[in-house]
Amino acid sequence: MRGQPVGEAHGSAGARTVGAEHVFRIVKTTAVVAAVVALFCATYFSAAAGAGLLAGAAWGCLNLLATGRVVRTLVAPERPGRLRVLWLSFVKFPLLYGAGFLLLRAGVFPPESLVSGFSLVLVTIVLKALGASAAGSLDSRGAARGGAGGPRNSAGGAVGGAPARGPLTSRR
């Protein structure tokens, strides 16, 4: 049981790895966006604003990674050890939020840039969800019109007169 993805114990293959991959994709996307926006801020505002945005984004990404780790540990099919949960909680809450407090208190970076960088993670999550929703809505509209993956009629052609394509038809 140990080492298997969470979903395999319940019948859906790879639920844990998909969740972790999704979190890592969000972190990577946030890092790229933060780098571009930080360059913009450093060019048009100040170097401290750009660096603050990067620091805030790094803080937000670490927060998301730590939250994901705590949640995956708590919902694992095997009972997580209390020491592991306490360790992860110690890393996430006091260290991460303490570092955030120190960043704000030090006054090296403008608070607006730190908050903007931290918020980039949330913006990335929302935009990825909207993109997935829009892609799903486009897929369902294509199916309703008889496009790719749409309903087929009994004569073997797609609804609307387009030739049928699928695993049992010729592509010529």
pLDDT of residue 163: 54
Task: Please give the residue range of the domain that contains residue 89.
Answer: 8-128
pLDDT of residue 9: 41
In a domain, 170, yes or no: no
In a domain, 166, yes or no: no
In a domain, 150, yes or no: no
Tell me which residues of the chain have a pLDDT lower than 50.
1-18, 144, 149-158, 169-172
How far is Cα 36 from Cα 109, in angstroms, rounded to an integer?
A: 18
Q: Mapping DSSP to helix (H, G, I), strand (E, B) and coil, where does residue 65 land? A: helix
Total domains present in the chain: 1
In a domain, 77, yes or no: yes
pLDDT of residue 165: 54
Our CA angle for 74, 70, 78, nearest 5°, is: 30
In a domain, 148, yes or no: no
In a domain, 1, yes or no: no
Q: Which two tokens stand for residue 55?
A: 């620091």
pLDDT of residue 84: 76
In a domain, 99, yes or no: yes
In a domain, 133, yes or no: no
Q: 12 phi and psi, to 5 degrees?
A: -105, 115
pTM of the model: 0.66
pLDDT of residue 4: 42
